[in-house]
Structure 1
Amino acid sequence: MQKIQSEHTEEKRPPGRDQPLRLFIGVAPDSATQRFLDATCHHVAQQGLPRDHRWISHANRHLTLTFLGDTDATHLDLIEDRLRSIAATSPICYGEIVSTHPFPKNRAKMLAAELLPNPPLARLQQKCKALMRAVGKPPERKTFRPHFTLARSQRGFAGPQPVTTAFTCRLDNLTLYRSLLTPTGSQYEVLLSLPLEGAPDSQGTSK
């Protein structure tokens, strides 16, 4: 399993603290999940994809919990403190990847591996969502649909048939990302990554 860093150094702190940062909170996939997603991508590619499709790199794959959007850099210390508290009290949870398909509808610009929602993952997402109020942002109102984006296409995905799967992935970290716009698309910089260290629930499992 990939090593999760518990701290980032001052050198990794984004320059220009007077400029807003485009931030989101997510979970980075572990190595077993990365291998499963690789195999899924290979299978989907056999069905034929739009010519302009672009695969998401390993470094950019993630499961989004909360999108903070443009955020004043002066809020970074507060956000990191809250994330440390959430990570310290939240148990490792698991998610079942059940289908890979155009997302969020039948014809869309994203191809994603979607997970079934479950209570532990929903609780983790709600904690991160509540953090938005601390930085003066209204919490997101859209329904939480956990997924890993695998590819993007400006023309849109319509041809691939949904690929039904049954893979349980381990979600063991809380990661703060900065989204950077580049000529080749968005790139995601990890600002902070923390292991989930809370005790399991009363049933002895967080699945």
Structure 2
Amino acid sequence: MRCFIGIPVVRPLADQCRMLSQGMGLATPAANLHLTLAFLGEQSASDLNGLKGSVSALADKHASFAQLFDRCEPFPRDQGPFIALTGKASSPLQQLHAGLEECLEFHGLPLESRSFRPHITLARPGAAVTSFQTMGEWVLPVNALWLYRSEWAEPLPTYECLARFALKTAL
């Protein structure tokens, strides 16, 4: 099964994303909104079992935090093909991402070759809207990591949460 580890987008940010993506073509459904931390590719259930323990231990070491996104713009390039919320990775997000990469290396899973650039995909707008760009402040509460299963479907993939790993509650 095709999998990735991410952070779910919940209310009120999910509502803000829905409003931003109105009229942008093919909007990401609220249930699919997430911040991807690591794409795992095709994995067997047995391969995921060992990884789950490591991700759970990682989540136990990190306190909840908030990640700020300050731009809504074409992604991954100026020409799109997506519109996404983007922003600089906060120090806690950088640390969480680095820890997750260590987990993946330990389990022999490949790391992505491109550098980590936090984003939440809002829509696949088509050529007519890719010039859209706005500044703002959108806050993603980071309270848990989710292990997702991804299946390609038309017109958009579907995602299923296979496991949740709660971060420590910030004091």
1:67-114 CA distance string (max 9 Å, x none): 111123221211111111111111112111101111011102211011
CA offsets 1:100-138 (integer angstroms, 9 cap, x no match): 111011102211011221110011111112222233223
Q: Deviation of residue 156 (structure 1)?
A: 7.7
Show CA shifts across 1:21-55 (max 9, x none).
Answer: 1110000012121122223224xx3xxx4xxx311
2:49 partner letter? D
Distance in structure 1 (CA, Å) of the matches to 2:8 and 2:136: 20
TM-superposed CA distance for 1:58, in Å, is: 0.8
Q: Name the residue aligned to 2:105.
A: 133
Q: 1:86–1:127: 8 Å Cα contact kept in structure 2?
A: yes
Aligned length: 171
- Partner residue, 2:164: 193
> How far apart, in 2, do the equivalents of 1:134 and 1:86 lie?
13
CA contact (8 A) 1:29 1:61 kept: yes
The within-5 A match list for 1:42-191 is 42=22, 45=23, 49=24, 53-153=25-125, 155=127, 157-160=129-132, 162-191=133-162
CA distance in 2, matches of 1:134, 1:157: 42
Larger radius of gyration: 1
Q: Secondary structure in 2 aligned to 1:183?
A: coil
Residue number in structure 2 paired with 1:37: 17
Contact 1:130 1:139 in 2 (8 A): no
Structure 2 residues without counterparts, runs of 5 or longer: none
- Partner amino acid for 2:38? T
Distance 1:199 1:81 in 2: 22
What root-mean-square deviation, in Å, do the aligned CA atoms of Structure 1 and Structure 2 show? 1.9
Cα distance in 2 for partners of 1:22, 1:134 equals 19
AA aligned opposite 2:111: P
TM-score, normalization by structure 1: 0.76
Alignment TM-score, normalising by the size of structure 2: 0.90
Identity %: 26
Question: Offset at 1:198?
Answer: 6.2
State how far apart, in whole Å, the 1-side matches of 2:64 and 2:15 are: 20
* Stretches of structure 1 lacking an aligned partner (at least 5 in a row): 1-20, 201-207
